[in-house]
Structure 1
Amino acid sequence: MELRKLRERAGLSTSAAAALLGVNQSRISNIEAGRYAVGADRVRTMARNYKCADDALIEALAAMTGGRTRGWWDAYQELLPAPLMDLAELEHHAFGLRVALAIHIPGLLQTTDHARALFQEVVPQLRAHEVEHRLSYRMKRQAVLHGERAIPYTAIVHEAALRMQFGGRATSLGQLEHLLEMSELDNITLRVIPFGNGSFSGNGQPIDYVSGAVPPLDTVQLDVHHGCEFLDADAELAKYRTVLDRLEGSSLSPSASRDFIKRLAQGL
């Protein structure tokens, strides 16, 4: 996809790009569709043909070539929708994550009990073993926040999400206490938007902004009614960076957010 974007920015057709590379047109189409593997040297050649002067982007693309290694998410390919595999792989390779939610707690910060209560409310209703598959998948995704390669993570959560008592009082209290614990980690920034702050950019749609090795490789993931939607166009990336910046500006500081959550927990 990135090679296709570079070609289109250069104003080249697939036939013109093929002529520059010395291959037939179908080879370019198959490379851009992900049907053919492409090596690092060929990526550099194609980028040069497309007059790309962004060396950092070229090297980031070259680093993405080579044999694909299997990830833990591959075990779920026949159990969960395909976009969830893409989301787990994106998070695994991310250099940073920014999320914003109005109604729900971010998936990477959910407790097991809270997540199970959510999955039990899915329509159409999931069977017991399907709930457990989704639950184990969500918990494994959370590994990106821990260990030697723990990625920077900023979560902007509205007060409404904190007050939703999915699973009842005990589950909600456990979830708030878990948020407080996670917010103490060096790589995690948790910010709350109280009802009293008034302004709220965007339409309340959950946003996941996944940072790549360089900004042109960023991706936005949106939760929509029919599943996941992934965006990587420059204009869309810029739009959602602005939305997240405004939401962050409407939120409490990390320390004030922790105090806010403590008060909510004490009131349960």
Structure 2
Amino acid sequence: MAGRSAPTARRARLGAELRKLRERAGLTTTQAADLLGTSAGQLSNMEVARFGVSADRVRVAAQAYSCTDRLLVEALVRMTGDRKRGWWEESREILPRKLLDLAEIEHHGTRLRAAHTIHVPGLLQTVDHAREIHRQAVPGMTPPEIEHRVSFRVKRQTVLYREDAVPYSALIHEAALRMRYGGRHVARAQLRHLLEVSERPNVDVRVIPFSATDYPGSGQSLYYVQGPVPTLDTVQLDQSHGPAFIDGEAQLTQYRALLDRLDAVALDTEQSRDLIDTIAKDL
């Protein structure tokens, strides 16, 4: 087993899921290690992704832990086989680790769902809009740091345009559409870009208008990345100190329900496009 000083998000999630399976089986690390023919120390290192895990090891562990969810087991097995470095690894010495984790998580996602109140979702931002958002960050960033962040955000957007483009749905509050980040010219170009990208078959942009009488949740930006099975879904929340990731089963259920409720109060696709067009013309 090869040691890893800086595990990727995918490897860290694999280790965490193996730990969850062990804990559901009611086994201590010592008991589980005995069943797997390894030491408690080695097992702990696998669960925190210091060591890589083979496909065979995952299958043996699943059997030892009495896991009968074959779809989950096979999804975990597939997580062991991707050893290529993703494009985001090029920025490991430049950008915070959690930004790289976000790019990796969404790269492997099977469906992406976003809900935003004040900002246009990052995957739908123009370069000028993204630059203005990063320019206003607290604490402030130097011009080179801003350009690195903007370039990274644009590269993340390739998940929407690649050959196996990921289905993406965005719920955007009207407040975000009326914010004039960068002034009228930048704001109008951003709205026109939303209209353009929403024409892609894999992208659905819908607006929650000011006239909506219901708005579930606290208004916090929410990004839901679906995995190959629901257990491997991930929620990303925006924080002032950077992205926060959530993958607890109860929390995933809660955020799925929240997105479904927000979806129910949003305008349909054509009504949303009409409202975006109207706001752009009013600028």
State the distance in 2 between where 1:75 and 1:22 align.
Answer: 37
Deviation at 1:72, TM superposition (A): 1.1
| 2:239 is aligned with 1:246 | no
Q: Is the 8 Å Cα contact of residues 97 and 208 (structure 1) preserved in structure 2?
A: yes
Task: Give 1:247-266 correspondences, 5 Å limit.
Answer: 247-266=262-281
Q: 2:230 matched to which residue of 1?
A: 215
Report the residue type matching 2:142 in the other structure: R
Deviation at 1:22, TM superposition (A): 1.2
TM-score, length-scaled by structure 2 = 0.93
State the distance in 2 between where 1:200 and 1:67 align.
Answer: 40
Report the residue type matching 1:57 in the other structure: L
2:65 to 50, 58, 64: 50
Q: 1:104 matched to which residue of 2?
A: 119
Q: 1:181 matched to which residue of 2?
A: 196
State the distance in 2 between where 1:147 and 1:230 align.
Answer: 25
Q: 1:143 matched to which residue of 2?
A: 158
| 2:182 is aligned with 1:134 | no
Deviation at 1:161, TM superposition (A): 0.2
Q: 2:26 matched to which residue of 1?
A: 11
Q: Is the 8 Å Cα contact of residues 95 and 213 (structure 1) preserved in structure 2?
A: yes
State the distance in 1 between where 2:264 and 2:51 align.
Answer: 44
1:85 to 91, 100, 103: 100
State the distance in 1 between where 2:162 and 2:190 align.
Answer: 22
State the distance in 2 between where 1:140 and 1:240 align.
Answer: 27
TM-score, length-scaled by structure 1 = 0.98
Q: 1:66 matched to which residue of 2?
A: 81
Deviation at 1:75, TM superposition (A): 1.2
Deviation at 1:10, TM superposition (A): 1.0
Any unmatched runs of 5+ in structure 2? 1-15
1:229 to 240, 244, 253: 244
State the distance in 1 between where 2:169 and 2:188 align.
Answer: 22
Q: Is the 8 Å Cα contact of residues 38 and 66 (structure 1) preserved in structure 2?
A: no
| 2:191 is aligned with 1:193 | no
Task: Give 1:153-192 correspondences, 5 Å limit.
Answer: 153-192=168-207
Moved more, 245-254 or 60-69: 60-69
Q: Is the 8 Å Cα contact of residues 31 and 38 (structure 1) preserved in structure 2?
A: yes
| 2:156 is aligned with 1:125 | no
State the distance in 2 between where 1:123 and 1:35 align.
Answer: 33
Deviation at 1:66, TM superposition (A): 3.2
Deviation at 1:58, TM superposition (A): 0.4
Q: 2:55 matched to which residue of 1?
A: 40
Deviation at 1:81, TM superposition (A): 0.9
Change (3 A) 1:106 1:67: closer
SS of match in other structure, 2:243: strand
Identity %: 54
The one-character-per-residue Cα deviations of 1:223-247 (angstroms, maximum 9, x if unpaired) are 1122111111100100100110011
Deviation at 1:67, TM superposition (A): 5.5
State the distance in 1 between where 2:95 and 2:52 align.
Answer: 26
SS of match in other structure, 2:80: coil
Q: 2:129 matched to which residue of 1?
A: 114
Structure 1: 4+ residue segments shifted above 2 A: none
